[in-house]
Amino acid sequence: MYPAQFEYHKAGTVKEALDLLIKYKDEAKLLAGGHSLLPAMKLRLAQPKHLVDIGKVSGLAGIKEEGGTLVIGAMTTHYAIESSAVLKSKCPLLPEVAGQIGDPMVRNLGTLGGSLAHADPAADWPAAVIALGAELVAEGPKGRRTIKVDDFFKGLLTTALAENEILTEIRVPACGANVKCAYAKFPHPASRFAVVGVAAVLTLDGGGKIGKASIGITGAGTKATRAKGVEAAIAGKPADAASIQAAASSAADGVDVQADLQGSVEYKQHLLRVFAKRAMEAAAAKK
């Protein structure tokens, strides 16, 4: 399995990468960690004539806090997120999710930005960034723009990014002490991709109730989405087993669940209910 012939370009800056994307148009593809693009190229599912490597673009990788916002560069690897002290303390959902992706090689090379831009329907990050209410920053020929996560995933392997835009950073609010998060997934036994994955972010109101719930799901359909049925069902309810069990029964409501090689629609709906319950229980149990 060899990829079709291509020309390799190494960008040193975002501007250089953008210039190459503008020059080669739909014949060019950005190369981040390569752990989705290269397998697709080897299978000849993708045959870009020009690869623009952004691996050494300065400023695209790293994690910092700006006020109450955590800013993660698009080229930040899964492992860097998994091992980040600031994220473990200010947004523990992200390290938790990172540790469940693939294997050590995938985690050391694959990037948050690459995963989000690729928009694999079974990827883990989309569920997490939806639950966290992230904002995604893109740079293109017309400058910089910010895309709300609820507007980002458009369909199978399709996002709001234009062909000549680069995802540069992902911004998530730091979690206060009253915000409890967890990710529960049913991993494919071979790849570790999510057959179904559910990320839960519960904001407790101080009186033992869930003031607000934000639930992202992946694996169920052609794109990651928000489980609005659960969010509505659990808001204002006590953070106890009975309320969580009742709300989780709405996990598939309004979700466009699709059958695939992993299972039927009914099976995936069942998994959504089971893993929504597990994610909310795990979140509610966090100290």
- Dihedral over Cα of 86, 135, 173, 104: its sign: negative
How many CB atoms lie under 10 A from the CB of residue 241? 12
Enumerate residues 189-208 that contact ligand FAD by CB under 6 A: 191-193
Q: Which is nearer to ligand FAD, 20 or 210 (CB)?
A: 20
Minimum Å distance from CB 47 to ligand FAD? 12
Per the rule left: phi > 0, alpha: psi between -120 and 50, beta: everything else, 176 is beta
Q: H/E/C letters for each residue in 164-183?
A: CCEEEEEEEECCCCCEEEEE
Q: Residue 161 or 199: which CB sits closer to ligand FAD? A: 161
Residue 21 near residue 48 (C-beta atoms within 8 A): no
Q: Judged by CB under 6 A, does residue 216 bind ligand FAD?
A: no
Q: Is the distance from CB of 4 to CB of 46 less than 8 angstroms?
A: no
Contact flags string 92-131 toward ligand FAD, x per CB under 6 A: ---------xx---x---xx-xxx-xx-x--xxx------
User: Please, what is the minimum distance in Å from the beta carbon of residue 281 to ligand FAD?
Assistant: 22
Choosing from 14, 18, 29, 277, the residue that interacts with ligand FAD (CB under 6 A) is 29
Please state the closest distance from residue 178 (CB atom) to ligand FAD, in A.
28
Hey, which residues does 88 pair with through a beta bridge? Answer: none
Helix (H/G/I), strand (E/B), else coil: 215: strand
Is residue 74 involved in binding ligand FAD (CB under 6 A)? yes
Give least dist CB 265 to ligand FAD, A. Answer: 22
Q: Give me the least distance between CB of 53 and ligand FAD, in Å please.
A: 9
